[in-house]
A and B are shown apart, each in its own frame.
Chain A
Amino acid sequence: MSRCRGRAPRRILGLLALVIAGCGGVTAAETVLVQRGAPMRYRANVLDPGLALSWTNPAFSDAAWAAGSYGVGYETAPPGANGLIDTVVPAGTWSVYTRSQFTIADVSTVSSLTFGADYDDGYVVWINGVEVYRSPEMPIGPPAWNTSAALHESSNGATPVYAPLHDITLAGLPALHDGANLMAVGVWNNAQSSSDLVLVPYLSINRSELTRGPYLQLGTPDSVVVRWRTAVPTDSRVRFGAAPGSLTSFADDAAATTEHVVKVAGLAPGTRYYYGVGSSAAELAGGDAQHHFVTAPLSGTTTRLWVLGDSGTAGAGARAVRDAYTSLTGPAHTDLWLMLGDNAYQSGTDAEYQAAVFDMYPQMLRTSVLWPTLGNHDGVAADSATQSGPYYDMFSLPAQGQAGGMVSGTEAYYSFDFGDIHFICLDSFETNRSPGAAMLTWLQEDVMATDRTWVIAFWHHPPYSKGSHDSDNEIEMAEMRANALPILEAAGVDLVLSGHSHSYERSYLLDGHYGVSTTLTSSMILDSGSGRVSGPGAYTKGAGSPAPHDGSVYVVAGSSGQVSGGALNHPAMFLSLNVLGSLVLEIAGPQLNGRFLDDAGVWRDEFTLYKGTGSACAPGQAPADQGDTVTLGPGASAIAWTRDASSVYSNLYRGTIAASLPFAYDHACLVSSTSAQTASDPAAPPPGAALYYLVSGSNACGESPVGSSSAGVPDPNPAPCP
């Protein structure tokens, strides 16, 4: 089929790119129907009441039953469950039957039912006479008044613990009707001689089932791990595809869980995918433009990283830093982001992580892979020795070298590749930092094995700092400096990122400084300039892959949640700031830019590492539009273009010109960050339509406008390539 070479219509709409913001599903809020304190009528069974299961039927008259409120039961060994019991029944009661009414105005507004209970020893629940759930302690079959439940202890607390909550939608929803409904719950003892009997039920509708995420982990060129949490256990499904409305593939895990971890594999490198998460029965989130990921590239690309250190305050400072970054980037994709430890204050508990990470950065979590390291605060609740605790529970990290690098055998320290960059994450807090111990043995092998152009290492405790922590005095900082840096510098590490001190401190280009600050000599400072292209120039290194002792920059970026001052006078530092902010890294080809963005959206520092003898671009100044020229042919699918010398990569966009009015630009990314200057496109235009192509140039400082299209006319910029 021949390719039409239509002329792209001239500027018609700047509108097409607007679109989708805010299109998420709207779900009703949770409504609790029954919980502690809810009124009910009850019958305590010391003898056979002779009711069989008639009492579970809505038509049954409970007028003769006593009135009370949940929780109900008895306790003969106080305090025991006394804190849970509002309605006391006689000791030695075999079972208690309870009935509680609730009203639902419009059942069509109910999407889910959830039930939980704090109980001792077993219970069964009916809604409008239909059994919807029984606890595992109850035997199968219709329960008699004196059925013996297996042992189960209540929380014995002052407030009920309803978890685990159970999704009873499947059985319960069909039983509901508009107006008054009946919930009947019976609770049974293990034995009449039992010291206690307790029931405090919880019934709700429209509980928000997604309680965490989705969030992305362990990204590789052909896979990504998608994680999320639900209130009730379900199976797991990630649907994914090339467009929000076209999630044609899926990855599953049949096991019922509230912590969903699904590896999506078989993906193409450097490619954007849209996705949704949920179960085999329902999608809980996604399927829209807000939920997407981009797989890691195999080789060089323009890469943007966002680096947060000590961001875990869950407070105004962290929000301001976050908002400054998102305002800056707008819809542009962040390729990956790092957390440098102390991700959740004070102790790295699950609840603290919920507030400081999952509720703070939901948008970034669902579109960009997060790579964390353990800080001392995270290490209060987590334990590297056994890889247990919230930090290790919630993150999926490449202990087996799944993302490039050597097998570390632990999630406490790991490495991964992203395009031309090799990242190394170390545990500076809980893992043995001695030479000869496992971590540094692994490090030695890992840095020796990498063949990437850039090596970036990160961990929590900085080797150099005079912020709120002094690297001359703290053992973690001293040992990382004395033991890890010689290995890294001998392997040519380019950049080392840390937090811990709540400040921003950025070094000169250094090598060989492994002692306390007073031992720094001028020979250890390989370049005493600012590293600024706009000033005396970038820090330059030899071309190509890392070379030993070629110089490294050390950054403390621990002010992403709070600032804590300090002397801020470490002599290795070019700049030390007591300012809230985050670090933004942009890397393309031979150039790495680091910029510190404060909480007001102002750039407060920038530095550039440049490998080779070329000229570095100035951070933030995209290549000028040099009118990269696109030509087609000679074959039907052949595309060729020129690239201006100021660019490292090209982005190729494809559009379709419709056969009839109204004409509109619809071009979208076809090839991202390619070092080539030719491509082929096997796609054929729709009948009567034409395809056209545009090319932009990119480097570490940004992306140029597109040049003229293959139709020979200048066009507006398309949505940027990922």
Chain B
Amino acid sequence: MIAARRARRAALLSLLLLSLAGPAGAHVALDDQIARLDGLIAREPSLDLYLRRGDLHRARGDLASALIDFARAGAIDPSSADPPLQMGRALLEAGRTEEAMRSFDLALTLRPGYVDALTGRGRARARLGRHLEAGADFTDAILGCAPSRAPQPDLYLERASALAAAGPEHLAKALEGLDEGIDRLGPAVSLELATIDIETRLGRYDAALSRVEAASLRSTHHGHWMARRGEILLAAGRRTEARAAYESALASLVALPERRRTTGAVVAIERSVRDALARMGAGGTPESRR
């Protein structure tokens, strides 16, 4: 794993080019590095050097040379899972998803439970529409992080996204996974927002509202969360409560200091709140029509 990380990052740390727009100057820098590695490999080839040069080729947009170097690295140490991991990443990046899958599979055969390979295969499977299998890979990757370590919130989000994409019958499982992430990482707002969305999609409006309430208590920005509350209540058909929530949100937003009120996100929220109130006003609440 270290060899792969070092190789990938040694390449990245120099110059990672946007594959579509590499001016000559930047390519020269990469070429220089590749030329230096050519010399080193000529003297004493090693798995690490091939992986590093392969990643430079990949960064340079030369997938064929990259794959050759990764294959050479694999030939030096067929028991290492790093060459197929790197191969899988390069193929995935190039859109050759099926082939990437096979490389990740090999990496996992050589090193069962390899977190980087599980993550890569999960992404490949998600791209292929094999959402449940992707979710399983992300789960294994999460479990593969030692108890003293913590995965990034992104891994939980990717799993939830895969499960949600697998169909509405898997939303509950997606939610469960996000809560697992919150339990492990703390109430990261990125995860909280995702749980609120899924609760709403599941029609569990009270649960969504409870989550909004909890998040609001941890925030200094109550207008934002009141607006969320309004959205959920509206989705639940509780228009009177929704109107009250929107009005409360608006009052909170308007009470912000002028400069905070005009920040991009606050402006967007205020606009959506006013729009929602306008729509409700035009149609009237069920209660008001009675």
Residues in chain A within 8 A of chain B (CB atoms)? 347, 376-377, 379-381, 383-388, 399-401, 406-410, 412, 429, 431-432, 437-439, 441-442, 444-451, 469-470, 472-476, 478, 486-487, 489-492, 516, 542-549, 567
Contact = CB atoms under 8 A, between A and B. Distances in A.
B154 to A, nearest CB: 5
Contact of B6 (A347, A401, A451): A347
Given A399-B185, A407-B188, A473 B145 contact: no
A451 B152 contact: no
A288 B243 CA distance: 62
Contacts, number: 171
Nearest to A541: B259
A469 B260 CA distance: 35
B189 A400 contact: no
Contacts of A385: 115-116, 119, 151-152, 155
Interface in B175-209: 181-182, 185-191, 193
A407 B183 CA distance: 13
7 contacts: A401-B218, A469-B15, A470-B26, A473-B18, A487-B264, A545-B257, A546-B263
B218 A492 contact: no
Contacts of A486: 264
A492 B145 CA distance: 37
Nearest to A445: B189
Contacts of A376: 9, 12-13
Given A386-B115, A449-B219, A490-B264, A409 B17 contact: no
Contact of B186 (A407, A489, A547): A407
A438 B22 contact: no
Given A448-B265, A473-B22, A438 B13 contact: no
Interface of B: 5-6, 9-10, 12-13, 15-18, 21-23, 25-26, 115-116, 119, 145-146, 149-155, 157, 181-182, 185-191, 193, 218-221, 224, 257-260, 262-267
A472 B25 CA distance: 11
A652 B115 CA distance: 57
Given A409-B186, A442-B190, A492 B263 contact: yes
Contacts of A451: 220, 257, 260
Nearest to A402: B186
A28 B158 CA distance: 55
A85 B150 CA distance: 41
Nearest to B188: A409
Nearest to A566: B25
Contacts of B155: 385
Contact of A473 (B26, B154, B193, B257): B26
A455 B188 CA distance: 21
B5 A380 contact: yes
A470 B264 contact: no
A380 B52 CA distance: 12
**Closest 5 pairs (CB-CB, A-B):** A490-B264, A409-B188, A409-B185, A376-B13, A438-B153
Contact of A448 (B149, B150, B191, B224): B224
Nearest to A411: B150
Contact of B259 (A406, A412, A444, A542): A542
**Which of the listed residues A379, A441, A450, A492 has the most CB atoms from chain B within 10 Å of its own CB?**
A441
A438 B154 contact: yes
A277 B26 CA distance: 49
Given A474-B15, A474-B16, A478-B18, A491 B263 contact: yes
Contact of A412 (B15, B152, B219): B152
Contacts of B186: 399-400, 407, 409
A431 B152 contact: yes
Contact of B154 (A377, A437, A447): A437
Given A408-B153, A545-B257, A548-B263, 13 more contacts: A385-B152, A386-B115, A386-B152, A406-B219, A409-B181, A410-B152, A412-B152, A437-B157, A449-B221, A451-B260, A473-B22, A474-B17, A546-B260
A473 B5 contact: no
B216 to A, nearest CB: 11
B145 to A, nearest CB: 5
A475 B149 contact: no
Contacts of B15: 469, 473-474
A370 B88 CA distance: 38
Contacts of A469: 15
Contact of B188 (A381, A410, A491, A549): A410
Contacts of B224: 445, 448-449
A226 to B, nearest CB: 21
B188 A492 contact: no
Contacts of B187: 407, 409
B208 to A, nearest CB: 17
Contacts of B26: 470, 473-474
B12 A472 contact: no
A547 B263 contact: yes
B190 A409 contact: yes
Nearest to B264: A490
Contacts of A449: 219-221, 224
Given A387-B150, A438-B154, A490 B18 contact: no
B116 to A, nearest CB: 7
A441 B152 contact: no
B229 to A, nearest CB: 16
A387 B184 CA distance: 13
A438 B9 contact: no
